[in-house]
Amino acid sequence: MTRNDSTEKQILTLLNGLCNQIHHKFECCTGISSSRLEILHELCGGAEIKQSHLQKRINIDNAAITRHLKQLEAEGMVTRRKNPDDNRETFVRLSDEGLEKIEGYKIERENFIRQILKDFDDEEIPVLADFLARIKNNI
Partner DNA sequence: GATCAATCATTGATGCCTCAAATAATATAA
Partner DNA sequence: TTATATTATTTGAGGCATCAATGATTGATC
Candidates 11, 64, 107, 127: give the one binding DNA (CB under 7 A).
Answer: 64
Binding pattern to DNA, positions 30-59, x when CB under 7 A? ---xxxx-------------xxx--x---x
Phi, psi of 14, rounded to the nearest 5 degrees: -60, -45
Task: Note the residue count of the chain.
Answer: 139
Binding pattern to DNA, positions 74-113, x when CB under 7 A? ------x-----xxxxx-----------------------
Smaller CB separation from a copy of itself, 47 or 117:
117
- 80: alpha, beta or left, given left = phi > 0 and alpha = psi -120 to 50? beta
Write out the residues near a copy of itself by the rule CB under 8 A.
4-5, 7-23, 25-26, 34-35, 38, 58-60, 109-110, 112-120, 122, 124-129, 131-136, 138-139
Q: Roughly how many angstroms between the first and final C-alpha of the chain, as a whole number?
A: 24
Binding range to DNA, per CB under 7 A, among 64-72, 107-115, 117-125, 126-134: 64-72
In sequence order, what are the residues at sequence separation of 6 or more whose Cβ sits closer than 8 angstroms to the Cβ of residue 54? 39, 42, 43, 65, 69, 92
The dihedral built from the CA positions of residue 46, 48, 51 and 56, taken in this order, carries a sign that is: negative
d(CA 128, CA 139): 17
Q: Which residues bind DNA (CB under 7 A)?
A: 20-21, 23-24, 27, 33-36, 50-52, 55, 59-64, 66-71, 80, 86-90
